[in-house]
Amino acid sequence: MITKHLLAHKKKIVFVSIIYTVVLTYFSLKSEPISIKLPSQSDKILHALAYFIFTIFWFLSFKYTFSLQKKKSFLNTFILSLVFGAFIEILQQQLTNYRQADVLDVLANTFGTILAIVMLNLMFKDR
C-alpha cells in the first residue's frame, strides 16, 4: 500500500528531497546562528534527526524516481549522505564566522543515516 502510494507521487519525492536538501543547507550555513538554548551535545541529536530524514527522502528518490534496485539505492543514499554531511561541515568552517567543522557532527550525521538505512531495510525487506 505504501509502495503504490509512493509510486503515484514519485516526481514529488525527488522534489521534496531537493527542497529538504536546500533547507538543510540554508540552516547549516545561515549567516546568523540559531538562538536556541540547547543542553550540551543535544545538537548532535538534531544532526542525527536531520540526516535520518535526509536519508529517507533520498533513498525513496533513488528507489522510485530513478528506479534503482534496493541495494544500489542504499549504497547511493549512504554515499550521498556522508559526502553531503562532510561537505556541509567544511563549508561551515570556510563560510561562517561562528561555526567550525566538527567531527562529532559528522559522526552524528552518519548515525542518523545508518539508523534510517536500518529502518528502511526492515521496511523493504521482502521487496
Q: How many CB atoms lie within 10 A of CB 82?
A: 15
- Give the span between the Cα atoms of 14 and 80, in whole angstroms: 14
The least confident of 12-16, 80-84, 116-120 is 12-16
**2-14 pLDDT tens trace:** 556 655 677 789 9
**28-66 pLDDT tens trace:** 898 665 566 666 678 899 999 999 999 999 999 999 888
pLDDT at 11: 75
pLDDT at 68: 84
86 phi and psi, to 5 degrees?
-65, -40
Q: Are 62 and 76 in contact (CB under 8 A)?
A: yes
CB hemisphere CA count around 45 (13 angstroms): 5
